[in-house]
């Protein structure tokens, strides 16, 4: 094995943002060399060019020969389109499509995962979070559980005997962005510190046994400002509570006897954890970056 043979680029490139990792070794937790953040696939006109530019330094420094990519970059809004592996899906079921870049780097684009009928009764898919799920299995040694992946499109997956059994998607993050930026509901209000009370008030609305229609409750975001009960900034947290509360409450039909596992980082993962605990659930948080690296490492080492 040559000096650069065990150095590889791993990419978790979603709709809204992308993370590129340069790592050394074949372990589930390899030596971490560097990381670059890039624009999401939906906002990138030329993914191949973006990737070449972002990784130029690594290719020159380490003479990297290959990359493994997952997420929306492998969809019809990304670089190239791969198919889906149907559920129940194990890591060995995931196939890849290989394309060479202009610089000669072999890029392995991984399949997504799909379910013919989810708990709502319709076709559903996942790209990227499936790699995090496989990484979660590898890192924790757990074989069963309900996993939540907060994001632009929040994913819920049940894992059974190490395989992805069910998938359910909630368009929570994107709905919040659209309503916050392009509706009269929050009027672009800012709340730098965040209001936990306003957020939990929104969760409480969706916690009710007879859950009200979300479309009706959205108007309360505006009306609570008109009545003087909330500032525009607080209304953003309330809107977030309504959307996350509705998504969590609707997903609890899949709730296992054990913990709900949240895979993710930052403020959004913290909000899901807060909402789920407020709904009476026991939760565990797992680092999303560690999980996706482990999942990608598992796939690539199984192919060599």
Q: Are residues 130 and 174 in the same domain?
A: no
Q: Are residues 116 and 180 in the same domain?
A: no
- Residue 293: which of 68, 7, 53 has the closest Cα? 68
Q: Are residues 19 and 130 in the same domain?
A: yes
Tell me how far apart the alpha carbons of residues 197 and 190 are, in angstroms, rounded to a whole number.
Answer: 16
Note whether 201 and 215 are within 8 A (CB).
no
The whole domain housing 86 covers 7-141+295-302
Tell me how far apart the alpha carbons of residues 278 and 207 are, in angstroms, rounded to a whole number.
Answer: 9
Note whether 245 and 202 are within 8 A (CB).
yes
User: What pTM value is reported for the model?
Assistant: 0.93
- On the CB side of 268, CA atoms within 13 Å amount to 18
- Does residue 214 sit within a domain? yes
Residue 191 has a pLDDT of 64
Q: Does residue 287 register a pLDDT over 60?
A: yes
- Does residue 38 sit within a domain? yes
Residue 206 has a pLDDT of 92
| Torsion-angle region of 107 (φ positive above 0: left; ψ -120 to 50: alpha; else: beta) | beta
Q: Are residues 195 and 113 in the same domain?
A: no
Supply the mean pLDDT for the chain.
93
Q: Are residues 187 and 239 in the same domain?
A: yes
Sheet arrangement for strand 163-170: 163-170, 154-160, 145-149, 260-263, 283-286
Cis omega (within 30 of 0) on the bond before 231? no
Q: Are residues 36 and 80 in the same domain?
A: yes
Band the pLDDT of 5: cuts 50, 70, 90.
low
- Does residue 235 sit within a domain? yes
Share of the chain above pLDDT 90, in %: 84
Q: How far is CA 265 from CA 28, 124, 269, in A?
A: 19, 24, 6
Q: Are residues 205 and 250 in the same domain?
A: yes
Averaged over 6-22, what is the pLDDT? 95
Band the pLDDT of 3: cuts 50, 70, 90.
very low
**How many domains does the chain fold into?**
2
Residue 282: CATH number of its domain: 3.30.420.310
- Does residue 223 sit within a domain? yes
Residue 188 has a pLDDT of 67
Q: Are residues 134 and 18 in the same domain?
A: yes
Averaged over 239-260, what is the pLDDT? 88
Residue 193 has a pLDDT of 63
- Does residue 261 sit within a domain? yes
Q: Are residues 69 and 191 in the same domain?
A: no
Band the pLDDT of 252: cuts 50, 70, 90.
confident
pLDDT tens figures, 140-170: 999 999 999 999 999 999 999 999 999 999 9
Tell me how far apart the alpha carbons of residues 70 and 270 are, in angstroms, rounded to a whole number.
Answer: 24
pLDDT tens figures, 98-139: 999 988 999 999 999 999 999 889 999 999 999 999 999 999
Residue 127: CATH number of its domain: 3.30.420.300
- Does residue 75 sit within a domain? yes
Q: Are residues 233 and 128 in the same domain?
A: no
Q: Are residues 190 and 251 in the same domain?
A: yes
Q: Are strands 112-115 and 84-86 parallel, antiparallel or unpaired?
A: parallel
């Amino acid at each position: 094995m040559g000096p650069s043979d065990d150095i590889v680029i791993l990419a978790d490139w979603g709709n809204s943002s992308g993370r590129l990792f340069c790592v050394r070794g074949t372990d589930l937790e390899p030596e971490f060399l560097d990381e670059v953040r890039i624009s999401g696939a939906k906002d990138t006109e030329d993914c191949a060019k973006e990737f070449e530019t972002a990784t130029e330094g690594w290719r020159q420094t380490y003479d990297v020969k290959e990359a493994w990519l997952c997420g929306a970059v492998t969809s019809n809004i990304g670089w190239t389109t791969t198919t889906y592996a149907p559920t129940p899906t194990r890591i060995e079921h995931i196939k890849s499509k290989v394309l060479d870049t202009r610089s000669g780097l072999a890029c392995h684009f991984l399949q997504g995962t799909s379910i013919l009928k989810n708990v709502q009764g319709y076709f559903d898919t996942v790209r990227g979070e499936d790699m995090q799920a496989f990484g979660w299995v590898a890192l924790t040694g757990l074989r069963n559980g309900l996993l939540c992946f907060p994001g632009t499109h929040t994913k819920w997956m049940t894992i059974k005997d190490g395989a992805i059994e069910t998938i359910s998607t909630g368009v929570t993050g994107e709905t919040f962005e659209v309503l916050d930026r392009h509706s009269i509901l929050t009027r672009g209000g800012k709340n730098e510190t965040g209001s936990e009370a306003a957020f939990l008030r929104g969760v409480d609305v969706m916690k009710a046994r007879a859950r009200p229609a979300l479309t009706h409750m959205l108007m309360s975001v505006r009306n609570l400002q008109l009545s003087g009960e909330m500032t525009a900034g607080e209304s953003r947290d309330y809107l977030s509570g309504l959307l996350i509360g509705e998504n969590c409450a609707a997903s609890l039909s899949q709730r296992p006897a054990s913990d709900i596992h949240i895979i993710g980082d930052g403020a959004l993962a913290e909000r899901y954890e807060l909402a789920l605990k407020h709904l009476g659930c026991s939760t565990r948080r797992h680092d999303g970056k560690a999980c996706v690296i482990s999942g990608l490492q598992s796939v690539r080492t199984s192919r060599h």
